[in-house]
Amino acid sequence: MSSHQTATAEARTSCSRCHKRKKRCDRALPSCRNCRVAHVRCSFLDDDCQSASYPVAYVRSLEKKLQDMEKKMAQMSSPLTDGGPLSFGGDDQQAYTESSMGGNTVVMDHDSGMPQQESDTATSMPGNLADLLFPEPPAPPPPPCFVDELKTLSLEATAERHLGSTSGISFARLTQVVLRRLTPDKADFTFVSDRGANYAGAPLFDFNSPSDLLDPSLFEGLNESVSTHPLLFGDVVVADITGLSNDVGVALDLPSDQSHIDQLVDFYFAHSHTLYPILHRGEFLQSLQHLRDNPHDAAACSPLTLFRIWMVLAVGSTAYCSVSLSEESESRVYYTKALQYFEQAIAYGEMAALEAIMLQVSYSFFNQLGPNTWYLVGMAARLAVGMGLHSSSIYAGMPVDMEQRRKRIFFSIYMMDRVVSNALGRPFALHDDDINITPFVSVDDENITPDGIRPPSSLEPSLMAIPLHILALRRIAGKITRQVYSNRQAASLNTEQREAILHSLHKELIDWRRDMPFPLPDVNDQVPHLCTSWFDFNYYYHLAMLYRPSPLLPTMDRERVKTLAEAASMSIRQAFNLHRQHRLAYNWLNLLALFTATLSRIYSTTVLPENLVTILKETRAIEDLDLAIALFDTLGVKFPAANKIRGMIAEISRRYKDLRDSG
């Protein structure tokens, strides 16, 4: 049975019975599994306000079914031609084996071998009506391939359709072609769509079937977050939060909650704030404390303050869940709470609106049920440009602390734009040629005053050194996109110029890695980008992006293939190091990055003209794929699509091992 037939909606929170019994709820609508098994009425059945999410592919399949039914209804309503009712049967009818059984006919489909009941009255019906009541079985979907999987990961992550070259879609096609070396008849290497089978035991490949590289069939369930791990921090039950009063002050003032709230706030400022410094930490903590001390003070409970607090809790919670693979219901509750104040918060002015949008983008990077990342980043970029935050003239005469805050916000948007646009292969919303301001300074909040910047008292780098260094990486990634993946620029260059661009960008990546802040701030041992493995992973990932086939250098030589193989291998190994340290963020961005890195490893192994058996014996290709399998196995806890990718890679690894052992 196809997955779209079994796809279910998923509620945002657990049902009342599961919460009271402290059992994990699958949140399936209209009734959760625990209640169905116990033969009791689930609280979801009585909750008219319950919101849910469906897989994108499931909704698209319903749309297609509706279109097909509308076409058939239109055919039925149209006047019959050719002098009378159409005959049910004729030359186009499939061959069936029939045996008379009373008033019915048992129809044996030779393709499936399954008997079907068909009434004798069907032969007396008009052809259109018979087609509607007894339709032919739908044609099986074409087998999926690498391109389908990469399209699915990107589209499911952002609910968008267009994918450009930096997303890896063209590279996936190329990898599909070189994998013909692993097939007996050099046919396309394709995947059998057997969604009902377990990925670990069912065959995922049909080596002799042609593939449709542009087939629209997508992975279902990327939005489903399935976890078997304890709740966040182990001592907070989601329904305790969902039942909170609308008075947020009272909610946050609960003694049993304060340490947990502090943990979430600390994780937000250790993790998200060192990626995108949107908020002023001291100001936020002061507002939170004032709210705890004066829960009924109108000034403390302003919509902007409440929105900030709930969003910090939502982002902190979902960011922690992305590293720990904990249950994410809590972060969704916080996010829903924040949205109650969104419209009032953005009415506080352009900066408040910009801040509110960016906090939602931060949330969407980690939670699939969040807002549409692509649209929000574009909206924030247009708003920032409209405010002139990209121009130095706007900062003339501005107090230093205000200037630094606005620069932090602007360059956070810049980094978000580069991350999302490169992941999807889309044009940038912010262009370097239009920006004539210097970045924010590497100084913590307490050393920035309206009149100037005080020198730090410590020799250790500021926390702001981390986002500044990440900003440098995003700028290099932007250069790779413009200079390597732009067809227009590549067309006018000769071979020497193309090689010079490649060498220059490679050197910039090396310099970036060598200039990493040292020592790294030791504020939380679970934040991915506060350890050297994260910087190594990003260095090698971008190096692989630079050296894989592109519009700049579509033809690979031996040295570039060797560099690509090493970069892909090291990016997988560094990701595995993060995984072993419990510092890998299991979000959709890293899922895409790991998939394209694994594709790069497969391509660079298989494309070389030498004997493939020798290559497999002399390189670490099989070991790298086994590491990738382990990573996707863990990612499958949160992203069902990762399970299918894991099966694909496992099958390629098995074929590699067979070839190696045969030599």
More confident of the two residues 184 and 377: 377
Measured distance CA(323)–CA(317) in Å, rounded: 10
In a domain, 99, yes or no: no
Q: Specify whether 286 is located in the same domain as 353.
A: yes
Q: Specify whether 287 is located in the same domain as 336.
A: yes
Measured distance CA(505)–CA(482) in Å, rounded: 11
Q: Specify whether 363 is located in the same domain as 379.
A: no
Residue ranges in 430-581 assigned as alpha helix (H): 465-484, 487-491, 495-514, 532-547, 558-580
pLDDT of 581 reads 95
pLDDT of 234 reads 32
pLDDT of 146 reads 56
Q: Specify whether 349 is located in the same domain as 379.
A: no
Q: Specify whether 380 is located in the same domain as 361.
A: no
In a domain, 22, yes or no: yes
Q: What is the CATH number of the domain that holds 35?
A: 4.10.240
pLDDT of 526 reads 94
- Round the average pLDDT of the chain to a whole number and report it: 77
Q: Specify whether 348 is located in the same domain as 280.
A: yes
Domain boundary among 410, 437, 453: 453
Q: Specify whether 358 is located in the same domain as 392.
A: no
pLDDT surpasses 50 at 512: yes
pLDDT surpasses 50 at 209: no
The percent of residues in the chain predicted with pLDDT above 70, rounded, is 68
Q: Specify whether 427 is located in the same domain as 338.
A: no
pLDDT of 432 reads 95
In a domain, 279, yes or no: yes
pLDDT surpasses 50 at 552: yes
More confident of the two residues 1 and 320: 320
Categorize the per-residue pLDDT at 59 as very low, low, confident or very high, splitting at 50, 70 and 90.
Answer: low
pLDDT surpasses 50 at 221: no
Quote the tokens at residue 645.
């990718």
What b/e sequence results for 605-615 when a residue is b if at least 16 CB atoms lie within 10 Å of its CB, and e otherwise? bbbbeeebeeb
User: Which residues, other chains included, contact 228 with Cβ-Cβ below 8 Å and sequence gap of 6+?
Assistant: 24, 637
pLDDT of 610 reads 78
Residue-range definition of the domain harbouring residue 262:
255-367
Q: Specify whether 259 is located in the same domain as 341.
A: yes
Q: Specify whether 263 is located in the same domain as 360.
A: yes
In a domain, 376, yes or no: yes
Measured distance CA(588)–CA(42) in Å, rounded: 32
Q: Specify whether 330 is located in the same domain as 424.
A: no
Domain boundary among 430, 453, 476: 453
In a domain, 285, yes or no: yes
Tens-place pLDDT, residues 443-479: 999 999 999 999 887 788 899 999 999 999 999 999 9
Listed range (78-87, 106-115, 527-536) with the worst mean pLDDT: 106-115
The percent of residues in the chain predicted with pLDDT above 90, rounded, is 45
Q: Specify whether 352 is located in the same domain as 390.
A: no
Coil, strand, or helix at residue 113?
Answer: coil
Going by their DSSP bridges, the two strands 205-206 and 104-109 should be labelled as unpaired
Measured distance CA(414)–CA(378) in Å, rounded: 10
In a domain, 164, yes or no: no
Categorize the per-residue pLDDT at 139 as very low, low, confident or very high, splitting at 50, 70 and 90.
Answer: low
Beta bridge partners of 119: 104
Domain boundary among 453, 478, 501: 453
Quote the tokens at residue 316.
């902190």
- Torsion angle, CA of 412/12/64/7, rounded to 10 degrees? 120
pLDDT of 268 reads 97
pLDDT of 86 reads 33
In a domain, 158, yes or no: no
What is the torsional sign of CA 98, 99, 101, 107?
Answer: negative
pLDDT surpasses 60 at 611: yes
pLDDT surpasses 60 at 200: no
Q: Which amino acid is at 480?
A: I
Measured distance CA(588)–CA(423) in Å, rounded: 10
Tens-place pLDDT, residues 222-281: 333 323 233 333 333 333 433 444 444 444 443 357 889 999 999 999 999 999 999 999
Categorize the per-residue pLDDT at 177 as very low, low, confident or very high, splitting at 50, 70 and 90.
Answer: low
pLDDT of 11 reads 76
N residues, the chain: 663
Count of domains observed in the chain: 3
In a domain, 28, yes or no: yes
Across 393-418, average pLDDT: 96
Overall pTM surpassing 0.95 (yes/no): no
